[in-house]
Copies of this chain bind each other. A is one copy, B any other.
Amino acid sequence: MSFSMQTIQQQFKVEYNYAVFFTQHLFDPANTLLKDFFNQYTEQGFQKKALVIVDEGFANFHPSLSSDIRTYFSQSVPQIQLASETIIVPGGEACKNDPVLFESLVNAVDVHGIDRHSFIIAIGGGAVLDLVGYAAAVSHRGIKLIRVPTTVLAQNDSGVGVKNSINFKGKKNFLGTFAPPVAVFNDLTFLRTLDDRDWRGGLAEAIKVALIKDTAFFEWIESHVDALAGRDEEAMAYLIHRCAEMHTDHIAGGDPFEFGSSRPLDFGHWAAHKLEYLTDFQVRHGEAVAIGIALDCVYAAKIGKLPEADLTRILDVLTKLGFDLYHPKLAENDKINLRNGLQEFREHLGGRLTIMLLEKIGKGVEVHELDADIIAQSVDYLEGSKLIHA
């Protein structure tokens, strides 16, 4: 017997929409932004549930947060019924390493009867948003997620994007999904309690997008370098908005769920990822990115791609903001670790190495190989320039 059935060709598109709001004092009853969002977003006449999950590092500075949120919802958002408990999770990278924490969140979804049409409201830094985002994305095949990022990095980068993740047996971001939120609320006042390292760290992502895409934005950063270093909120507000906008534009304009292998926003990231590992995440993401940018810019200048004058301006901005441009782990083991880092990055992308280098400030260009010796020379250069800038 032999008969053949025609192949079925399946094809469809899935549309995603979400707003990134900018505000101050989000849970102040006088602020109607959240109320307005729910009025517009939810169907009339059906009460939905919401579970609030907060970063402990943030909650510690806001002892009345949970009760403020309850007051806000009971007064202004009657169509949302908050779960009986507000969940507090430890902040920082550690939370992404702990499978028990992930399970406890999934369990809370079950216990509180949170379904696909309920909301999870995640408040915290990039690590907590990644963990909660992952738990929300896989519970019931996806619960509606509202993000309230509380660090600079989360407000201008991770929290406005479409990815989540946790670590698996020490492998960074090994488990995760692409899962857009239904809304993001960036509250500038939430950044006041950040320590200087985390205030600074998020600036690296803004410098990154400026360098590869927007000369004018880089010049704006250059001219506001003192304000930014001095924790001026108005300057930070502009920087976050512009960076978030470039980030969301990039996602929408290209390949939102990264099916291809080109990842221009990973500029400066291959060495950064390796450095985070080598230092057991003592060097934080933004700090590592600053060093990664510096390294790749020195490299680009050494191979004659990037003008020396541009290199100087870039290293100056990074230095004035307070970033270290060198870390001893970069040179360890005769730079062999960096060579591994490149290999891991290649595997991460799936085969072909694609690295973004700068041609000039505001314009990136992709290359498919890096020379190990010139990387080593670039590390030496940074080690030397450290002495000069210090």
Query: Which chain A residues have a beta carbon within 8 Å of chain B's beta carbons?
Result: 1-24, 46-48, 106-107, 110, 113, 115-118, 134, 137-142, 160, 163, 165, 168-169, 171, 173-178, 180, 233-234, 237-238, 241, 244-245, 248, 251-252, 256-258, 261, 347-352
Contacts and interface: CB of A to CB of B under 8 A. Distances in A.
A309 to B, nearest CB: 32
Q: Which of A115, A134, A141, A350 has the most CB of B within 10 A?
A: A141
A350 to B, nearest CB: 3
Contact of A178 (B19, B115, B141, B347): B141
A117 B174 CA distance: 14
A349 B244 CA distance: 34
A113 B347 contact: yes
Contacts of A248: 8, 10
Given A5-B241, A141-B165, A174 B110 contact: yes
A328 B169 CA distance: 47
Nearest to A12: B252
Contacts of A251: 10, 12
Nearest to A352: B46
A11 B20 contact: no
12 contacts: A1-B233, A3-B234, A6-B22, A7-B22, A8-B244, A8-B245, A9-B19, A14-B14, A116-B258, A117-B351, A141-B178, A142-B178
A3 B350 contact: no
Contacts of A177: 137-138, 141-142, 177
A19 B14 contact: no
A258 B28 CA distance: 34
A175 B245 CA distance: 32
A7 B24 contact: no
A110 B175 CA distance: 11
A131 to B, nearest CB: 13
B11 A24 contact: no
A258 B115 CA distance: 13
Contacts of A134: 138
Q: Which of A107, A173, A177 has the most CB of B within 10 A?
A: A177
A4 B241 CA distance: 10
Contacts of A20: 7-8, 10
A44 to B, nearest CB: 12
B174 A140 contact: yes
A10 B252 contact: yes
A234 to B, nearest CB: 6
Contact of A174 (B106, B241, B244): B106
A12 B162 CA distance: 11
Given A12-B16, A110-B169, 14 more contacts: A6-B22, A8-B19, A8-B244, A10-B180, A11-B16, A11-B252, A14-B14, A110-B171, A115-B350, A116-B349, A134-B138, A140-B176, A141-B176, A141-B178
A348 B109 CA distance: 12
Closest 3 CB pairs of A and B: A117-B350, A5-B22, A12-B252
Given A14-B16, A177-B141, A8 B160 contact: yes
Contacts of A142: 177-178, 257
A10 B251 CA distance: 9
Nearest to A110: B171
A19 B10 contact: yes
Contact of A256 (B12, B138, B180, B350): B12
